[in-house]
Amino acid sequence: MEEYIANKIPQMNMQEIATLCEQIRQKILEVVSTNGGHLSSTLGAVEVIVAMHYVFDCKANPFIFDVSHQAYAHKLLTGRWNEFSSLRQFGGISGFCNPRESDLDYFIAGHSSTSISLGVGLAKAIHLEKRQGMPIVFIGDGSMSAGLVYEALNELGDRKYPMLIILNDNEMSIAKPIGAISKYLSQITSHPMYQSFRSATKKFLGKMPDSATYLAKRFEESLKLITPGILFEELGVDYIGPIDGHNVEELILCFKRAKELKKPVMVHIQTIKGKGYKIAEGPYEKWHGVGPFDIQTGKSLKKASISPTQVYSDTLLSLADKDERIVGVTAAMPGGVGLGQLIDKYPDRFWDVGIAEQHAVTSMAALAKEGFKPFVSIYSTFLQRAFDQIIHDVGIMCLPVRFSIDRAGIVGEDGETHQGLFDIAYLRIIPGFTLFAPRDNATLQKAIEYAYKHCDSPCAYRYPRGQFILNDGIFKASDFVLGECEVLQNGVDILLIGYGNGVGRAYLVCEELKKLGLNPTLLDLRFVSPLPLRLKDYLLSHTHIFIFSDSYKSGGVGSAIGEFMASCDIVKPYYSLEIESQFVRHGDVKSVERFLGIDTISLVDKIIAYIQSDKSSKPKKI
């Protein structure tokens, strides 16, 4: 297969295009089944993306993909066919659009609902520079649940910048078509005769007295009312659809007509998630994002084990069975955060509000005020989208909302848009928040129980994607007590302070240092806000202090301990082994850790080098 295919598509006939679509699907299946990645949405978008490249030159008319996990076909068509086998691998191509990878990827996108806003900004630039072209926005229907979409549509409908918005309806949230009548009217609305009729009607009405326009106005309004696009029409954006998203010929015709209108147009297309791979066809959440799997059977190739997400799900369900005041919410990720079985069992108490993190948080603030015990279950990277609501609606009134932060720390293959590295820094600055973290599955259960029983103010606890570094059973799980840390191993001179998954890192380092004849103290910090008062004693009694957590060094656990030491007038050096300030790119976790220098070997080397450089004191050996 040639590397750059997009510019050849306009010369292809429909049979050649059908063959190309099958080749693209097969390539996606082969690579994703090996590497993991997003699957069902991107399989469903193949014909749409091919049709986009048929009608539009993406250099003059930049393609803006929302979330961009749907854009694998675009990558394959724009010079990355051979490189596609490195998808999501360390040093390979990203699972999302990324301008560093190709100038035909207009914008980086890992979070949803940004595309129309970006399109408005681009349309303004095109207008100001008086150049040809317009933004081509591709947005999934699930992304339409976020408020940013409607903020952008509100301005676009007023300004009337030329833009094509392709709304991919794959049975996730947008309204279904209204049978044969809707299809018939959609075909009418996409026809130039209809558009011409509407334009002529508006001009005619503008010249007539109000008394003569009633019937004409009613006809226009009635036509819109029986199409699914009334909302967008009322916002000032022309609507065409629904269109069969797997009929390339129909898509091409529709896109050409939309291009000729030179105004904001939304084309509503319908696709089947997982199209072409029968096992995954349909609105199945489990096929949205997958690990390596067997193509023939669809079975995962990863060894099954109990994840922190499953522990959270099972523990919260057990508590909810006993206390009907427990409620919970997630933002479009019920399976990902483990809330699915709670929504199934208690649909009146647990909710998926769609991609609306801000609403999720604020709605739970009201429930907390009413005496309920709300749990907000959101990935670390997505929780940051609700930062203002956490401060304004939860923090200021000190309401007991419990934040269960999944995917905290390094998440690996999803890359810089998904790494959960900010939550400690952005939450610990909020007055009144209690922040704590478990070190393994057993203490995660204790953390959930603590949040349920003892928190009368906002609290948050974090846990990693996949597995904790520390296996259960190495240390006995004890209850969380506010402001209390836990010594896991007593030693001398060297103090290893771990927080959350950082305890596992510190433990592995501790074992290696013991092999070198050293005797470190291993401390599970447990709380980072408020910090344990007993921490002062350990800081004073040890010479070399090292801090481990899966977060950025800036604003992280080391920063908190440094502030604590200053408040206690403790003047001595400490070494944070957290992550340096940078956006961490994608790759398998082991490779990313080695690159960042937070794998066990690198951490041990740093500690030994640091100790050897300290001429004032040498640590005692066992």
Condensed to tens digits (0 to 9), the pLDDT of residues 583-598 reads 999 999 999 999 999 9
The helix or strand, by DSSP H or E, that contains position 593, with its residue range, turns out to be: helix 589-596
498 labeled part of a ligand binding site: no
Paired with 240 in beta bridges are 267
- DSSP designation for 420: B
Out of 3.30.470.30, 3.40.50.970, 1.10.10.10, 3.90.550.10, select the CATH number for domain 11-191+230-288. 3.40.50.970
Residue 282: HSE in the Cβ half-sphere, 13 Å Cα cutoff:
5
Q: Which of 75, 80, 88, 385 is catalytic?
A: 385
pLDDT at 538 over 80: yes
Distance from C-alpha of 351 to C-alpha of 587, rounded to nearest angstrom = 33
pLDDT at 238 over 50: yes
Model pLDDT, residue 267: 93
How would residue 194 be classed by pLDDT, with cut points 50, 70 and 90? low
Model pLDDT, residue 201: 54
Report the length, in residues, of the chain: 622
The least confident of 122-126, 181-185, 293-297 is 181-185
pTM of the shown model = 0.87
Model pLDDT, residue 86: 94
Is 580 in the active site? no
Q: Give the residue-averaged pLDDT of 303-309.
A: 88
587 labeled part of a ligand binding site: no
pLDDT in tens, 21-40: 999 999 999 999 999 888 88
Model pLDDT, residue 622: 44
Distance from C-alpha of 442 to C-alpha of 433, rounded to nearest angstrom = 23
pLDDT at 381 over 50: yes
Name 48's Cβ contacts closer than 8 Å, sequence gap at least 6.
138, 166, 168, 245, 251, 269, 271
Q: Give the residue-averaged pLDDT of 410-420.
A: 93
Distance from C-alpha of 3 to C-alpha of 78, rounded to nearest angstrom = 7
141 labeled part of a ligand binding site: yes
Q: How far is the first Cα of the chain from the last one, in angstroms, to the nearest whole number?
A: 63
Q: What are the C-alpha distances in Å from 181 to residues 186, 227, 306, 358, 601? A: 8, 9, 50, 37, 67
Model pLDDT, residue 193: 53
Q: Can you give the residue ranges of every domain in the chain?
A: 11-191+230-288
What SS3 class is residue 487? strand
Query: Among 289, 314, 269, which residue's Cα sits nearest to residue 167?
Result: 269
Is 25 in the active site? no
Average pLDDT, the chain: 89
What is the percent of the chain with per-residue pLDDT over 70, rounded to a whole number? 89
Q: Which of 47, 357, 416, 593 is catalytic?
A: 357
**Hey, what amino acid is at 184?**
Y
Phi first, then psi, for residue 524 (nearest 5°) are: -90, 110
- Answer with the residue of higher pLDDT: 229 or 338: 338
142 labeled part of a ligand binding site: yes
Model pLDDT, residue 294: 87
Q: Give the residue-averaged pLDDT of 90-97.
A: 92
How would residue 530 be classed by pLDDT, with cut points 50, 70 and 90? very high
Distance from C-alpha of 515 to C-alpha of 504, rounded to nearest angstrom = 17
How would residue 185 be classed by pLDDT, with cut points 50, 70 and 90? very low
Query: Among 413, 344, 351, 397, which residue's Cα sits nearest to residue 378?
Result: 351
Distance from C-alpha of 566 to C-alpha of 561, rounded to nearest angstrom = 9
Q: Which of 25, 75, 273, 407 is catalytic?
A: 273
Burial pattern 271-287, b for ≥16 Cβ within 10 A else e, equals: bbbbbbbeebbeeeeeb
How would residue 261 be classed by pLDDT, with cut points 50, 70 and 90? very high
457 labeled part of a ligand binding site: no
Q: Give the residue-averaged pLDDT of 310-339.
A: 96
170 labeled part of a ligand binding site: yes
Is 357 in the active site? yes
112 labeled part of a ligand binding site: yes
69 labeled part of a ligand binding site: yes
357 labeled part of a ligand binding site: yes
Model pLDDT, residue 613: 86
Going across the sheet that includes 544-548, the strands are: 486-489, 521-524, 494-498, 544-548, 575-576
Model pLDDT, residue 448: 98
Q: Give the residue-averaged pLDDT of 165-174.
A: 73
